[in-house]
Amino acid sequence: MAGVAGLGSLLTSCGSGEVGPLSFGARTVDESPTKQLKALVAAYEAKTGNKVTYNATESNAFQNNLSQYLQGTPDDAFQWMAGYRMQFFAQQDLLVDLSSVWKKIGDQYAESYKIASTGLDGKQYFIPQSWYPWGLHFRKSMLADLGIDPDGIYNWDDFLKMLDGMKKKGLVGFAAADKGGWEAMGTFDVINARVNGYQYHVDLMAGREKWTDARTAKVFEYWEQLIPYMNENVLDLEWDGAMQLLLQRKAGAMLMGSWFGGNFKEQSDADYEDLWIIPFPEINPEHKRDSIDAPIDGFCAAKNGSNNDGGKDFLAFAGDMEGVQAMLDTGVPMTSANKGQDTSTYDAFQTQQLAVMGEAKYIMQFLDRDTRPDFAGPVVGPALQSWFKNPKDVNKILESLQSQWDALPPL
């Protein structure tokens, strides 16, 4: 990802300035990403003279209602996700073909990002913005106080010893939340990959393996071992509630995507500098720590938007290093998908994210991005919440998951 931060100034303008007003839909109301996105919009307006109407929706609400949104009167461009979650809506002819945009800016991205932006028809429907790894996050100072070396937390036994040490100190060892229905999906993903391997994850998400398989049940056997170290109100907290436990030093570790570094920085520079990440520990030596959830966030254009050309023009700017730089200039930490970002300027936490990514051989997008959206949110989300209420019902829950998968209509 290393590159030249000033690349954008050398490029031909991607914005035409002739497409008229358009609208952009943000799937966040949080302070840090809002600051980035509004800076992007302002830079585009200044460069092109085109007015952009900015509409923001809370993340869960946006995600859960995207199908209705795209079939109604959507914004011209909007935030979304790479991989399967983009392909699903592209197959339904709800997204604008962005292949022409990729011809303009594609040389600024590694081939892996283009693959993640490509629909099943071979056309591109997505512009990458940033990526982030899911890993085990903690405060360096807290582990130091406990006499724990983070580099020594390699396998499951190491992990449980760490959690025991935290519990003895009166801490929540493993902060968890699942009120939103998606937060725990990352935990399922990584334990599944550690126990059964990347290919099993891919095949289970695609329906080529069964939820009722004994290998799937094995995931929950390991997960159940973590419950005694969790906060008791898992289903009452959304992701940021679990983050607050870590921020307030009430919890020792949390599995989450590294996007919340911005929240720590909002609290103070010292809190942000105390934040660290390591890969989730090995369980099955056959698979080591070779897989990671590292979703790619970015942008799409809605086919039913009122200004398709405007949506494409805005996204050409957003994907160009000039648009990326506008977001970076806000000071909000971002690991950009664009090769032009100068990684030599990364702070210690960002550099550690690169190291965690560097250990992984396989990149997963995240459960609710790797499988059908009409299965992930409506079915898997409530099933995991049900499991938290009664872990001993795991076989019944897995049978229900499989029967609901089998009942899905063809795409």
The mean pLDDT value for 170-187 works out to: 96
- Rounded Cα distance, 314 and 394, in Å: 47
Judge contact between 401 and 379, C-beta under 8 A.
yes
For all residues of the chain together, what is the average pLDDT? Answer: 93
pLDDT at 83: 82
Q: Cα(13)–Cα(1) distance, rounded to whole angstroms?
A: 22
pLDDT at position 10: 33
> 134-293+361-406: what fold?
D-Maltodextrin-Binding Protein; domain 2 (3.40.190)
pLDDT at 3 over 80: no
63-115 pLDDT, tens per residue? 889 999 999 999 999 999 998 889 889 999 999 999 999 999 999 998 878 98
In this prediction, residue 345 has a pLDDT band, given cuts at 50, 70 and 90, of confident
Three-state DSSP class for 337? Answer: coil
CATH 3.40.190.10 assigned to domain 5-132+295-340? The reply is: yes
In sequence order, the 6+-apart residues with CB closer than 8 A to the CB of 111 are none
* Residue 391 near residue 219 (C-beta atoms within 8 A): no
Q: Which amino acid is at 202?
A: V
Coil, helix or strand at residue 378 = helix
Residue 51 has pLDDT above 80, yes or no: yes
- What six digits make up the tokens of 187? 């935990």
How far apart are alpha carbons 130 and 303 in whole angstroms?
A: 23
Burial zone of 14 (CB within 10 Å; 0-12 exposed, 13-18 middle, 19+ buried): buried
Sign of the C-alpha dihedral computed for residues 56, 57, 62 and 65 taken in this order: negative
Strand order in the sheet with 77-81: 52-56, 22-26, 77-81, 296-301, 127-131
Mean pLDDT of 375-402: 97
**CA atoms lying within 13 Å on the CB side of residue 342:** 10
Q: Which residue has the higher pLDDT, 385 or 12?
A: 385
pTM of the model as a whole: 0.78
Task: Tell how far CA 42 is from the center of its chain.
Answer: 25
For 323, the token pair is: 């648009």
Average pLDDT estimate for 165-171? 95
- Residues 6+ away with beta carbon under 8 Å from 256: 134, 137, 183, 186, 239, 242, 243
Three-state SS for 195? helix
Give the pLDDT score at 368: 85
pLDDT score at 17: 52
Separation of alpha carbons 243 and 263, rounded Å: 9
Q: What is the pLDDT of residues 251-305, one digit of tens each?
A: 999 999 998 998 999 999 999 999 999 999 999 999 999 999 998 999 999 999 9
- What pLDDT digit, counting tens, does each position of 12-43 carry? 345 455 799 999 999 999 999 999 999 999 99
d(CA 75, CA 86): 16
pLDDT tens for each residue of 215-246: 999 999 999 999 999 999 999 999 999 999 99
- Paired with 134 in beta bridges are 257
Eight-class DSSP state of 43: H
Helices (H), 72-155: 84-91, 99-105, 111-116, 140-145
Classify burial at 304, counting beta carbons within 10 Å of its beta carbon; exposed 0-12, middle 13-18, buried 19 or more.
middle
pLDDT digits over 110-167, tens only? 887 898 899 989 999 999 999 999 999 999 999 999 999 999 999 999 999 999 999 9
Where are the CATH 3.40.190.10 domain residues in the chain? 5-132+295-340, 134-293+361-406
Q: Report the SS3 class of residue 12.
A: coil
Q: With beta carbons less than 8 A apart as the criterion, state whether 264 and 271 touch.
A: yes
